[in-house]
Amino acid sequence: MRNTVLAAFLFLAPGVLWSDPLPSWAEGETKTQIVDFVDKVTDPENAAYVTPAERIAVFDNDGTLWAEQPVYFQFIFAMDRLAELAKEDPSILSSPTLKAAAQGDLATVLEGGHDALIEVVNATHAGLTVDAFQDAVAEWLDTARHPSTGLPYDQMTYQPMVELLRYLRDEGFKTYIVSGGGLHFMRVFTEEAYGIPPEQVLGTYSETTYDSSGDTPVIAKASGIVFVDDKEGKPINIERTIGRRPILVGGNSDGDFAMMEWTTAGDGARLGILVHHTDAEREWAYDRDSAIGRLVDGLDKGPDMGWVIVDMAQDWSRVYTGAN
Amino acid sequence: MRNTVLAAFLFLAPGVLWSDPLPSWAEGETKTQIVDFVDKVTDPENAAYVTPAERIAVFDNDGTLWAEQPVYFQFIFAMDRLAELAKEDPSILSSPTLKAAAQGDLATVLEGGHDALIEVVNATHAGLTVDAFQDAVAEWLDTARHPSTGLPYDQMTYQPMVELLRYLRDEGFKTYIVSGGGLHFMRVFTEEAYGIPPEQVLGTYSETTYDSSGDTPVIAKASGIVFVDDKEGKPINIERTIGRRPILVGGNSDGDFAMMEWTTAGDGARLGILVHHTDAEREWAYDRDSAIGRLVDGLDKGPDMGWVIVDMAQDWSRVYTGAN
């Protein structure tokens, strides 16, 4: 009996070891570069070997791990929530921007630029406890559907990237999200969608307050953004929160440029992975002229810095986790 | 041969399992409460069982994990560094506070209160890269000695707490520091002294800048404190950075009160450990009237909240890691 088990194990083991950890990545240069990098830094015999403690991998979220069109999903949540809140208290729609947002009139809101976005976020993300806010996000994720794909938003994660995250963790990496998205928003789904626990999610955050005047102390979200986790804010937040320079980074827009530059400028082996949205058929095709996920510097300077540019149309055999 | 190895293993194993994980804690109620709590939350058969992912333990540093008299050690570093910097450029001592600090005249500096402390910290902690700052801290730790014990500062960690941290990690806890001390200062020694990696150190931080104008991008420390990780700031920082409410907390002063209150007010089994400095012989005895590590609320309200109050003189059979 024991010998049978042993034989079965020996027979199965090679299959396990040789199974492809990245089945949704097409065979080719991009996939090879990623796997070669991981092989190199995890091989104690290799000069590029990195100890597990230093195997930090950071990823942007919007446009890198899940889709971001026609606008960041968190903003769709904000508009939906505003419409909900206005049903109970129409006076909340105290400006043309807020009225437009509650009607889902994205074009009008976007005309107002950054200030308009902040106004909508403040009106929908503040004045409640973190727990209550996250309950609202969870309920929205359960019920809302994307306007063009019809998928739940948390099924519009990129299956190749989900596989990459899992592969990296299996190889001893610690995987983090470093996103311009809201910290409390993301933490609702990152563990289930990506296997990334709350303490490994870095994002933009508002002021929060600690109030112990009631029966039990609570932490609540206040108006006003304290830290914007974008552009130079990304390496600053990584240094502040993680305290180590990552060895691998994934991004897709110029908001990720500084974090990718900082990571790949480090000593020793480093890998930068830039997701280029080239797939108008299965996803969207956009870069230099896009209002969302604008990508200029990464395309112009990334190749010289040795970054791997992912051509989504060519390199991914599958796009969304929720559909083939 | 194999049977001999097996027999040796069976013979040794109980010894390993039954060895005392907290040898520097005296037998008694305090130690029993800590061990009982850990046994309870790690036993899947117990109603109080907590999954490993939720076993978050947070600890203050100054006065909880290492000593803090006659003043926070980071401040001694700042005064020493100011004296060093003044040797090269005496014009740096541009105020009476800075002159006093450079002479090690702590009494005069403390008369200036909070503003004076900030002035000394800004003069010594800003205007250099994080790497250069941490090199300076490392060099100071190698050479400086405490005025009354003669020990290197990083040998004045509390051996019972070092054992507690290791014990908790062995039982599946993730251990964090949440301190009013400076983030970059602490990270220089926390891994070696406590086994706590940089990404599990939360502290007070200044503005940092990302500068990619040179050959390689650098992150530097600027003047101005962005976040004070003390009092209400502690639960706010824990929620923001870790995103989970801890189940175990250790502190020693009223600066830790909010973090201990928030932790122990959570549902399910929670443990608050308050270190009371009662040992004038081996360490220091201070609480209600101390300028450093003032402790009033914790003593008045902690027992009603079920906190374990550690009587250092009685509960610790050994104090410093660096001496018996």
| A183 and A259 both lie in a single domain | yes
Number of domains in chain A: 2
Task: Tell me how far the alpha carbon of residue B33 is from its chain's centroid.
Answer: 22
Q: How far apart are CA B128 and CA B243, in angstroms?
A: 31
List, for residues B185-198, the tens digit of each pLDDT value: 999 999 999 999 99
Residue A291 sits in the same domain as residue A264: yes
Q: Is residue A139 domain-resident?
A: yes
Residue B142 within a domain: no
**Nearest-10 Cα torsion for B192, B243, B169, B187:** 0
Residue B90 backbone dihedrals phi, psi, to 5 degrees: -60, -20
Instruction: Choose among A261, A186, A270, A275: nearest CA to A231.
Output: A261
A240–B208 CB contact, under 8 Å:
yes
Does residue B12 sit within a domain? no
Strands B218-227 and B201-211 come out as antiparallel
In a domain, B137, yes or no: no
Nearest Cα neighbor of A138 from A192, A91, A96 is A192
What number is the average pLDDT over the span B226-248?
97
Query: Do A138 and A181 sit in the same domain of this protein?
Result: no
Alpha carbon separation from A307 to A33, A179, A272, B250 (Å, rounded): 10, 19, 5, 44
Buried b (16+ CB within 10 A) or exposed e, B249-266: bbbbbbbbbbbbbbbbbe
How many angstroms separate the Cα of A119 from the Cα of each of A125, A188, A211, A224, B60? 10, 22, 25, 10, 37
- Shortest Cα distance, chain B CAs vs residue A95, angstroms: 31
pLDDT band at residue B108 under the 50/70/90 scheme: very high
List for chain A the helix, strand, coil content (%; round to 5): 45, 20, 35
pLDDT one-digit tens code per residue, B80-97: 999 999 999 999 999 999
Separation between Cα atoms, residue B75 and residue B78, nearest integer Å: 5
> Is A130 in CB contact (< 8 Å) with chain B?
yes
User: What is the rounded distance in angstroms from the CA atom of residue A257 to the CA atom of residue A251?
Assistant: 8
The pLDDT value given to residue B12: 52
**Residue B65 near residue B157 (C-beta atoms within 8 A):** yes
* Tokens read off for A306: 């040795």
Question: Which of A210, A227, A270 is the mutation pick for testing B, counting most B CBs within 10 A?
Answer: A210
Is residue B139 included in any domain, yes or no? no
- Are A185 and A279 in a shared domain? yes
Taking the mean position of all CA atoms in its chain, how far away is CA A210? 28
Query: pLDDT tens across B144-158, in order?
Result: 999 999 999 999 999
CA nearest A102: which of A117, A85, A116? A85
Structure tokens belonging to residue B235: 């639960």
End-to-end CA distance of chain B: 43
Q: B255 CB contacts (<8 Å, ≥6 apart)?
A: B60, B180, B230, B231, B234
Q: What is the pLDDT of residue A1?
A: 45
Residues B93, B111, single domain; the answer is yes
Please check whether residue B68 is in contact with residue B293, taking contact to mean a CB–CB distance below 8 angstroms. yes
Say whether both A93 and A235 belong to one domain. Answer: no
Residues A130 and A215 grouped into a single domain: no
Q: Are B209 and B91 in contact (CB under 8 A)?
A: no
Final residue of a domain: which of B128, B143, B171? B128
Q: Which one, of A314, A246, A242, lies nearest residue A275 by Cα?
A: A314
| Residue A204 dihedral angles phi and psi, to the nearest 5° | -70, 140
How many A-B residue pairs are in contact by the CB < 8 A criterion?
A: 79
Asked if residue A308 lies in contact with residue A31, where contact means CB atoms within 8 angstroms, the answer is: no
Phi, psi of A314, deg, nearest 5? -95, -40
Cβ separation of A217 and B258 shorter than 8 Å?
yes
The DSSP line for B157-197 is BBHHHHHHHHHHHHTT-EEEEEEEEEHHHHTTTHHHHHS--
B residues 256..315 contacting A (CB < 8 A): 258, 261-262, 265
CB < 8 Å to B240, chain A = 183, 205, 208
Do B242 and A198 count as a contact with CB atoms less than 8 A apart?
yes
Residues B234, B165, single domain; the answer is yes
Read off the pLDDT band of B324 (50, 70, 90).
low
The answer on A212 and A234 residing in a single domain is: yes
Instruction: Please report residues of B whose CB lies closer than 8 A to that of A53.
Output: 197
CB-based contact B219 A239, cutoff 8 Å = yes
Chunk chain A into consecutive blocks of 10 residues (it has 324) and report each block's average pLDDT, rounded to whole numbers.
50 60 97 98 98 98 97 96 96 96 93 89 95 98 97 98 98 98 98 98 97 95 93 98 98 98 97 98 97 96 97 98 83
For residue B152, give the 3-state DSSP assignment. coil
- The domain spanning residue A237 has which CATH number? 3.40.50.1000
Task: Tell which of A143, A171, A202 closes a domain.
Answer: A143
Same domain, B116 and B245: no
User: Would you place residue B282 in the very low, low, confident or very high pLDDT band (cuts 50, 70, 90)?
Assistant: very high
Q: Does A199 touch chain B (CB under 8 A)?
A: yes
pLDDT, position B1: 45
Which domain, by its residues, includes B108? Answer: 73-128
Return the pLDDT at B53. Answer: 97
Instruction: Say if the Cβ atoms of A262 and B212 lie within 8 Å.
Output: yes
A-chain CB neighbours of B210 within 8 Å are 232, 235-236, 258, 262
CB A281 within 8 Å of CB A298: no
CB contact under 8 A, B262 and A209: no
Instruction: Choose the mutation target among B2, B187, B191, B210 for the interface with A, i.e. most A CBs under 10 Å.
Output: B210
Distance CA B202, CA B216 (A): 27
Q: Domain ends where: B128, B144, B171? A: B128
What per-residue confidence (pLDDT) applies to B166? 98
Residue B27 lies in a domain: yes
Token look-up 């089994």 returns: B269
B219 assigned to some structural domain: no
Distance from C-alpha of A106 to C-alpha of A95, rounded to nearest angstrom: 15
Is the CB of residue A242 less than 8 Å away from at least one CB of chain B?
A: yes
Query: Which chain B positions have a beta carbon within 8 Å of A210's beta carbon?
Result: 232, 235-236, 258, 262
What confidence tier does B17 reach under pLDDT thresholds 50, 70, 90? low
- Are A243 and B201 an interchain contact pair (Cβ–Cβ within 8 Å)? yes
Q: Give the CB-side neighbour count of residue A208, counting CA atoms within 13 A.
A: 26
Do A163 and A290 share a domain, yes or no?
Answer: yes
For the CA atoms of B35, B41, B44, B45, what is the dihedral angle to 10 degrees?
70
Query: Based on the domain organization, do A84 and A205 belong to the same domain?
Result: no
What does DSSP assign to residue B266?
A: S
Alpha-carbon gap, residue B271 to B30, rounded angstroms: 12
What residues 48-107 of chain B have any CB closer than 8 A to a CB of chain A? 53
Region B168-191: what's the mean pLDDT? 98
Does A7 reside within a domain? no
Identify residue A5 by its one-letter amino acid code. Answer: V
